[in-house]
């Protein structure tokens, strides 16, 4: 296996006869001396190869294959820097806050985005303390994420106990997250559910896709308004996978207007004046970890999405 830039080779081995019929993540975990969950993450990131080709974690071995695995790049040393950047806070108390993230803002530092993120702005906000981010040093306070080009409501924890409680509620589907999306064409019904696993695209690692062996992902959708070439849809997340709404609606052959990554028509987006994937996290509701009272917030569409929608309505 030829290591990719920034990745440290972890190891290589030949699968023995005892590997026949076993899953790739199980076998690599044993060979690498790591957890199966860690091996599954490596496979999901395209870092595990069988006979020179990346394979998903659920790939069944026959025995005798050449296996190779590498580790993801080490995160940059040091905590993110505090930056004086404006933030739109929609709710705040001594345990948590909810911000309205604008499109174009990355949530936390990562490759290519060491500064200028939402986390940098949170750290620079006077008097704001943040949780340890569930152990991820580059994302203090971040309970869940939004794509760079998705706008809307985002939940942030100020202490570790609150972060853990909110993470449990997310995992148990007790945090309500609703999105507004404009999709191409007409969906087959007034509402429905997509229950399809999402993982890295097998050929394009920058994209996600509905793939066998991906992580379970469930999106409920309902049509709010119908126009000649597009429909306004509300999507409710039961799980929270990367690009989930975008991938699931594209899997129905109705990608989000402006979402060229997942097959949207650029001509239609230009005609409607949509310059990014039309996706907005408009509603967030949860039980407060401190006393259980219900916090229910909504955020109107930003102008870059509201103006095209108004044109359609007119």
DSSP label at 78? S
User: Is 147 annotated in the active site?
Assistant: yes
Give the integer Cα–Cα distance in Å for 148 and 4: 25
> Which entry of 25, 93, 138, 147 is annotated as an active-site residue?
147
Question: What is the C-alpha separation between 202 and 204, in angstroms, rounded?
Answer: 6
| Listed residue (146, 130, 127, 142) closest to 95, CA to CA | 130
What CA–CA distance (Å, rounded) separates 194 from 210?
A: 10
Rounded-to-integer distance, Cα 56 and Cα 70, Å: 14
| Summary count for the chain: helices (H), strands (E) | 7, 15
Task: Classify residue 257 by its DSSP letter.
Answer: T
Q: Which two tokens stand for residue 92?
A: 């705040």
| Nearest C-alpha neighbor of 6 from the set 54, 107, 75 | 75
Distance of CA 178 to the CA centre of its chain: 14
Q: Helices 36-44 and 24-32 sit at what angle, rounded to 10 degrees?
A: 120
CA distances from 40 to 32, 72, 138, 202, 207 (A): 12, 13, 22, 15, 18
Q: For residues 219 and 248, is the Cβ–Cβ distance under 8 A?
A: yes
**236/274 Cα distance (integer angstroms):** 22
- Distance between start and end Cα atoms, the chain: 57
Q: Which positions are catalytic? A: 147
């Amino acid at each position: 296996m030829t290591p990719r830039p920034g990745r440290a080779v972890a190891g290589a081995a030949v699968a023995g006869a005892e590997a026949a019929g076993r899953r790739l993540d199980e076998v690599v975990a044993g060979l690498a001396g790591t957890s199966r969950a860690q091996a599954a993450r490596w496979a999901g990131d395209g870092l595990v190869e069988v006979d020179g080709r990346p394979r998903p974690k659920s790939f069944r071995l026959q025995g005798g294959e050449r296996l190779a695995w590498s580790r993801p790049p080490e995160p940059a040393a040091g905590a993110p820097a505090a930056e004086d950047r404006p933030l739109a806070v929609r709710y705040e108390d001594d345990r948590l806050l909810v911000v309205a993230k604008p499109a174009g803002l990355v949530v936390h530092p990562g490759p290519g985005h060491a500064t200028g993120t939402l986390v940098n702005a949170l750290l620079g906000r006077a008097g704001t303390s943040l949780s340890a981010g569930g152990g991820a040093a580059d994302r203090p306070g971040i309970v869940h994420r939004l794509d760079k080009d998705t706008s809307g409501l985002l939940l942030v924890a100020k202490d570790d106990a609150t972060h853990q409680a909110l993470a449990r509620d997310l995992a148990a589907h007790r945090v309500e997250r609703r999105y507004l999306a404009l999709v191409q064409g007409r969906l087959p019904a007034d509402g429905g559910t997509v229950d399809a696993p999402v993982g890295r695209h097998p050929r394009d690692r920058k994209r996600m896709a509905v793939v066998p062996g991906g992580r379970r992902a469930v999106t409920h959708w309902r049509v709010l308004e119908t126009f000649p070439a597009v429909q306004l849809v509300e999507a409710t997340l039961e799980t929270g996978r990367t690009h989930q709404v975008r991938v699931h609606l594209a899997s129905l052959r109705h990608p989000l207007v402006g979402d060229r990554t997942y097959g949207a028509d650029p001509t239609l987006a230009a005609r409607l004046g949509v310059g990014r994937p039309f996706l907005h996290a408009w509603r967030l509701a949860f039980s407060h970890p401190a006393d259980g009272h219900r916090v229910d917030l909504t955020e109107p569409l930003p102008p870059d999405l509201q103006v095209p929608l108004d044109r359609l309505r007119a």
